[in-house]
A and B are shown apart, each in its own frame.
Chain A
């Protein structure tokens, strides 16, 4: 395999707040090779969004990175500053209704990004912009330049935002659940568009979601987060068909497509300021043992590319626990 485009090693992010220091991310390791779509999946509070913000270099002010590496194209962005990646990482936000400025024309908003971050003259930019609008399949690309955001539907706005993310011809696209606000029919179109754009332009994609269905439709690989740690990662097909970590297994068993007997997972995700010692899932885990509350289980390889952070994975989770 070629050297990864984005390589995160043992990254921790702490956020200082009134309730003490929250260890939002704790030793995250993941890498995105060129041309790979990587999904990051987990429930709310697991640190998905913080991970995205760290990659984009837009962590809040009270956040600190005590240790870890965040290498983009071989440069550690934490050491050399995020400006080294300027214009090379595109971001597709979650909410198409809130992410565009209502008083500026669509064309002007994207042109502004290009003026700030892309090379070339204004004429080049104008040409690229029309090409972009064509690439994201906006109806009437030329007319769309002069329209205001409210004149577009939700799906079209998401297309605009994808165009904005691609404006500087990035190498990596980072997306934060870009389809949650859309209808299933529109969602399918947007996913198909992203899949095609990523493979046509040879981009890498870091895609954060809580929807396993969307993940299966778009991503080659997946990393499952729980309470700020990676619990499992591997090819999407392996992880979804043969989940190994008890958390992944229980979570997938909650999916309406799979659920035999809707039970949920007992307990709740721990507060970020009160993370349990050892394996962070142990208070909710049906197969937890004494050692689980003391030692942090390392990510152990299982097969060629499947990693699991549970030492007991060969012991099948008793079927009752999933029923």
Chain B
């Protein structure tokens, strides 16, 4: 598969102030991220809240300026330029909000909201706007009559479809989906996921799928990047990572995901991730790591390739494999 997006050494600093009298240090929400996205693929980004998933997405989109690093899109370097230019160069990368209903103006008919995007992107001819809206509405499985309605009349699943319709009108290459199934019922979630597959095949899309629902990620994504405190700690094929997670954090994350069989095994992760203002020394996961060694407190592990397709940032990824497989949870509670 052809490479469509490459991110190298990306760093993003948030909240930094450099005034005449007041200096305020920022926090590194993204701290040295390397990522490659292949055309037509679905890359899942998982991690706890506050790990930098959304900041990474906003930076790739050009809504947030990077402080260091390079972003290449379809072979062209699109980083290191002023904000307005960055966004223009990356107009083929689009974003669906976590709550697409809230992104619609409650006073506007849905058709008006759809046409607005087209106008901004230079399609001002009414007839063409209408033709394109009709095509996309049909593609996302909504009735054209829906364009006369108002946002509050939509159900949760319809809101997701609307969010997708809005950005598909702009003919994107890469779509970043932020928690696309959060808050949906199981049956609606299934049909939204089905729709995502159909749209990818029909429009040749590439997805970056940000989610904390590991069941969904496992089902949908072909590659996965696991983030912890602004860094990617493990990356690889979804099948490989779920079958044999190498980083202790990935293992804990997968173990924590509730499973239909009710069996929870593997180490339980204690406490909350530390604040970005106070990143631990060495490996930033060591205070919560069940297999941490003295070396981990001082030495930051390299992001190493352990096979052709899998990379992991852990000093002891080989040791922890068997040590961590102790079953701890219970099967079904019995009466």
Which residues of chain A have a CB within 8 Å of any CB of chain B? Answer: 36-37, 43-44, 139, 153-156, 183-189, 191-192, 195, 210-214, 216-221, 235-237, 240, 250-252, 254-259, 262-265, 268
Chain A residue numbers with a CB within 8 Å of B212 are 183-184
Q: Tell me the minimal C-beta distance from B143 to chain A in angstroms.
A: 14
A183–B185 alpha-carbon span in the complex (Å): 18
Determine whether the beta carbon of A255 is less than 8 Å from that of B191: no
Chain A residue numbers with a CB within 8 Å of B261 are 216, 240
Chain B residue numbers with a CB within 8 Å of A195 are 333
284-335 of chain B: CB within 8 A of chain A:
329, 331-335
Determine whether B260 belongs to the interface, using a CB cutoff of 8 Å to chain A: yes
A250–B187 alpha-carbon span in the complex (Å): 8
Determine whether B155 belongs to the interface, using a CB cutoff of 8 Å to chain A: yes
Chain B residue numbers with a CB within 8 Å of A236 are 262, 332-333
A271–B335 alpha-carbon span in the complex (Å): 37
Chain B residue numbers with a CB within 8 Å of A262 are 190-191, 193-194, 197, 219
A173–B244 alpha-carbon span in the complex (Å): 38
Chain B residue numbers with a CB within 8 Å of A214 are 258
Given contacts A192-B268, A236-B333, A257-B219, 10 further A-B contacts (CB under 8 A): A43-B186, A184-B214, A185-B252, A188-B256, A188-B264, A188-B268, A217-B259, A235-B335, A254-B189, A256-B190
Q: Tell me the minimal C-beta distance from A201 to chain B in angstroms.
A: 16
Determine whether the beta carbon of A255 is less than 8 Å from that of B186: yes
A108–B272 alpha-carbon span in the complex (Å): 25
Q: Tell me the minimal C-beta distance from A71 to chain B in angstroms.
A: 21
- Which partner residue on chain B sits nearest A258 by CB separation? B260
- How many chain B residues touch A (CB < 8 A): the figure is 44
Q: Tell me whether chain B's interface is mostly helix, strand or loop, or mixed.
A: loop
* Other-chain residue from B48, B189, B215, B334 in contact with A220 (beta carbon distance below 8 A): B334
Determine whether the beta carbon of B258 is less than 8 Å from that of A216: yes
Determine whether the beta carbon of B258 is less than 8 Å from that of A213: yes
14 A-B pairs whose Cβ atoms sit less than 8 Å apart in the complex: A139-B271, A155-B272, A184-B258, A185-B256, A188-B264, A211-B258, A220-B333, A237-B334, A255-B186, A256-B193, A256-B215, A256-B219, A264-B187, A264-B191
A258–B333 alpha-carbon span in the complex (Å): 21
Chain B residue numbers with a CB within 8 Å of A188 are 255-256, 258, 264, 268-269
Determine whether B188 belongs to the interface, using a CB cutoff of 8 Å to chain A: yes
Determine whether B257 belongs to the interface, using a CB cutoff of 8 Å to chain A: yes
Determine whether the beta carbon of B333 is less than 8 Å from that of A37: yes
